[in-house]
Amino acid sequence: MTDQPYQGYDGYDGYDPYRQQPAPQGWPQQQPYDDPQAAQPYTQQWQGQTWETQVQPPVAPPAEETAYMPSQGAGAAYGGYQEPGWGGTQAPAHAQTPAPAQAPAQTPPTDGSEPGYGPATVAGNARITDAQRARLEGRSPIIEPGVQPAGLTALLGLLLAGAAAIGPYALVVPLVALQAVTAAGWFRLNGMWPARQGIALAFAGALTADVALLASGRTPAAILGTLGVWVLLALVLQLRSHADPDERMYGLMATVASAALAIVASGYLASHGDAVTVGAASVAVAVLVRALPLPTPASVAASLLAAAGAGALAGALTGLGSAGALLGAGAAVCALIGHRAASYDYPSRFVHFTAGVALPLAAAAPAVCLLGRALV
């Protein structure tokens, strides 16, 4: 044994873990490290799945993947460390930075979100709504229901007027149909379809109001009580939802509004029979005149005058007399507001045959109830 290090055989000088190994062909010769501890992380061999501690030769990615990659040296990935032959003045022959490709038209975001979208255009952008497209093209986003929905509204109004002349229990049949179409039409008008739970909740509130009115002797206070309970119920159900906060708020407002309109339509059942006959007939005439191809100011004025005349005629046939004209005009004003609401924001054909049919009659119910009790 000797204290001298092992020198090996001729032509072999032994294994030295810190000795600089010959560089591969095609790579520039690297200088040996002066500090063995600094060179040790780059000479160890690891077994198994772990982090790679050696500087691996870069593999040139395809051109389409490097279109968004900024050119940088290998030292940027290692906290600014520049190994001799990398990044600085020397670089491998095959690791030269390729020529920058032409920048694409749309740069992807750096925060990891989805690609942004440009402003709405008239064509070529499927994300804009019909109302936005109509505004961009200079057209009005307001489309009135038309003659056919107006005819259905007039038919339903005449059914309400005839059933009210028979009795309150006969009035329930067309009233329930009106409340069902009102609940479904409001959700469809707000773009929420199908919304079976909200429609069922609003319709259940309307049926509860009808039962409460018949049980209490048709007292209007039953409508207010049912409305308060159903608003609280809709609030509790929306709080139990797992949707986003914005969606929950939107659903809450749509549910409350649909339930309120369907419950308020029960005002026909809380009114006097003669007042319901006069008011429903006036609404039927006003909606038909409003659907005529006339300018909007002339159409509104003509519909109000026709409603007042129809109310005076119906009041002469019932016990209201000349007060029927005032009742008819008041019901027509509320009906035209509901007609305008059903025309808002470029609605579809299905909206016209649900909300466009039901909202004029549902909106006129409070006026019929209040004016009827005041005039009769």
| Helices within 63-195 (DSSP H only) | 130-136, 147-166, 168-189
Position 37 scores a pLDDT of: 54
Position 68 scores a pLDDT of: 46
Position 349 scores a pLDDT of: 86
Between CA 143 and CA 361 the distance in angstroms is 19
Q: With left for phi above 0 and alpha for psi between -120 and 50, is residue 81 left, alpha or beta?
A: beta
* Residue partners of 326: CB distance under 8 A and separation at least 6: 308, 311, 371, 375
- Please identify which residue in the block is written with the tokens 């191809």: 293
What the block records as the tokens of 13 is 């000088």
- Please identify which residue in the block is written with the tokens 């429903």: 280
Closest by alpha carbon to 280, among 291, 265, 261? Answer: 265
Please provide residue 182's backbone torsions phi and psi, each rounded to the nearest 5 degrees. Answer: -65, -45
Between CA 152 and CA 46 the distance in angstroms is 82
Position 45 scores a pLDDT of: 54
Position 11 scores a pLDDT of: 47
Between CA 102 and CA 373 the distance in angstroms is 77
State the helix-helix crossing angle for 355-375 and 273-290, rounded to 10 degrees.
Answer: 140
Q: Are 14 and 8 in contact (CB under 8 A)?
A: yes
Residues in the chain, pLDDT under 70: 1-131, 193-194
Digit-coded pLDDT (tens) for 226-276 = 999 999 998 888 888 777 878 888 888 989 999 999 999 999 999 999 999
Q: Is 145 exposed, middle or buried (0-12, 13-18, 19+ CB in 10 A)?
A: buried
Closest by alpha carbon to 338, among 356, 311, 350? Answer: 356
Element (DSSP H or E) covering residue 237: helix 221-239
Position 3 scores a pLDDT of: 54
What the block records as the tokens of 16 is 């030295």
Q: Is the peptide bond before 220 cis (omega within 30 degrees of 0)?
A: no
- Please identify which residue in the block is written with the tokens 């006097």: 272
Q: How far is CA 34 from the centre of its chain?
A: 66
Digit-coded pLDDT (tens) for 267-314 = 999 999 999 999 999 999 999 999 999 999 999 999 999 999 999 999
Secondary structure string (H, E, C) spanning 343-369: CCCCCCHHHHCCHHHHHHHHHHHHHHH
What the block records as the tokens of 283 is 């609404």
